Amino acid sequence: MASENKTNQSSELRQDIVSGEWVTIATARAKRPHDFLLQKRQQFDESQECPFEHLFPNNLLTLNKKEEGEWWVQVVKNKYPAFAEGICKVIYPEGPYIKMDGAGSHEVVITRDHARSFGSFTAEESTLLIQAYVSRMKELSLGECVDYISVFHNHGPESGATVAHPHSQIISLPVVPPDIERSVRGSYEYFDKNKRCVHCDIIYFESKQKSRIVYENKHCIVFCPFASKTAFEMRVFPKEHSPEFHSMDLELVAATGDAIQKSLAKLGKGLQDPAYNFFVHTAPIIEYADHSHYHWHIEILPKTAIWAGFEIGTGIEISTIAPEAAAEFLKEQ
């Protein structure tokens, strides 16, 4: 009896089946879902005029609503790009080091409404935003200096967003980011061993077990990962296997928009509009490499805690709510 009691109060290490990374579910420090509400959220400085209130001339893409005929989403070049024009993939030695130009592109995806975030979008608005992601990724994937295209969205000051107006960003890079390399490598190693897609197996298991599912529609499923890196983390997957995010058809575009919107609406309602990041994990853009084993997905990471010494020093996240409890709470919102 004593050993059972000890087990119930101990933390639990869970391994991500794809990356191999460990996370800690500290059940002895378990919190109720409402305990994750931040007591004092950071606020944006709204004293300056919003730069995203109008339609930019010479934008890269504009998508309009059908009935109103007004623009809903536009894509523009970032005024302060992290990656821009440069010499592509030329390595420069510098003593024991090497370096190369940050050649690529950096775009901003702007939705029209200043006050409404993704969680409050209509079905049409959500579809148009995903359509913009897909359209720009298709265009950028044709570039000669592109190994990977990163699509991400920051919501709230704690997420790193510096502008209050809802917007996403798209960056093309001449290298494959380390996190993507680990994800792709884990996917390949599982496929090489089992001759099946690891994410397809995860989707099958989660659909059967149901304890971590937050939302699903005909084409997409959303669940809190077994080895969640943060409290209330969610992942959005297409149910059918697909390596490349930008290869989806219009029906899947709409389903993906619906899945993200519903998930963020639940998160916003349950935790009173927390800051969050979401980003796309998709196969790299490398012609000579076979990434058919990979399964694109979207990761949603709410900002419910701050990394301290243990997390920073070890890279092991401590989550004080089990993903099963997080999913149950979100599903009810």
Taking only the tens place, the pLDDT of each residue in 97-137 is: 888 888 889 999 999 999 899 999 999 999 999 999 999 99
How many whole angstroms separate alpha carbon 81 and alpha carbon 158? 21
> Which phi and psi (to 5°) does residue 42 adopt?
-70, 150
**Nearest CA to 306 among 15, 32, 40, 100?**
40
Instruction: Tell me which residue of 130, 305, 309, 311 sits closest to 233, measured CA to CA.
Output: 305
CB 234 within 8 A of CB 263: yes
Please answer whether residues 96 and 155 qualify as being in contact, where contact means their C-beta atoms are separated by less than 8 angstroms: no
For the segment 147-177, what is each residue's pLDDT rounded down to a tens digit? 999 999 999 988 888 888 999 999 998 889 8
**Residue 7, pLDDT score:** 44
- Which are the contacts of 50, defined by CB distance < 8 A and separation ≥ 6? 114, 163, 164, 165
Angle at 127 between CA 153 and CA 325, to 5 degrees: 60
Q: How many CA atoms lie within 13 A of 157 on its CB side?
A: 8
- Helical packing angle, 323-331 and 250-270, nearest 10°: 100
1: confidence class by pLDDT, cuts 50, 70, 90:
very low
In the chain, domain spans: 61-331
Helix/strand/coil for 303: coil
Question: 229 by DSSP, 3-state: which?
Answer: coil
- For helices 178-194 and 198-209, give the axis angle rounded to 10 degrees: 80
Count helices and strands in the chain by DSSP H and E runs: 7, 15
Identify whether the C-beta of residue 199 lies closer than 8 Å to the C-beta of residue 237.
yes
Task: Give 74: exposed, middle or buried? Use CB within 10 Å, 0-12, 13-18, 19+.
Answer: buried
Global confidence as pTM: 0.89
- Report the C-alpha dihedral over residues 317, 322, 324, 330, rounded to 10 degrees: -80
CATH value of 61-331 in 3.30.428.10, 3.40.50.720, 3.30.10.20, 1.20.810.10: 3.30.428.10
Q: Residue 40 has what pLDDT? A: 57
Most confident of 35-39, 259-263, 313-317: 259-263
> For 269-318, how does the pLDDT look when each residue is reduced to its tens digit (9 = 90+)?
999 999 999 999 999 998 888 999 999 999 999 998 888 898 889 888 88
Q: How far is CA 281 from CA 60, 76, 152, 300, in A?
A: 23, 22, 10, 11
Kind and range of the H or E element at 129? helix 123-140
Which one of 1-5, 23-27, 215-219 scores highest in mean pLDDT? 215-219
- Looking at per-residue pLDDT, the higher value among 321 and 21 belongs to 321
| Cβ partners under 8 Å of residue 286, min gap 6 | 147, 176
Per-residue confidence (pLDDT) for residue 94, from 0 to 100: 84
Q: Say if residue 3's pLDDT is above 60.
A: no
Minimal CA–CA distance to 167: which of 231, 229, 114?
114
Q: Phi-psi bin for 243: left (phi > 0), alpha (psi -120 to 50), beta?
A: alpha
C-alpha 243/C-alpha 24 separation (Å) is: 29
Cα 141 from chain centroid (whole Å): 19
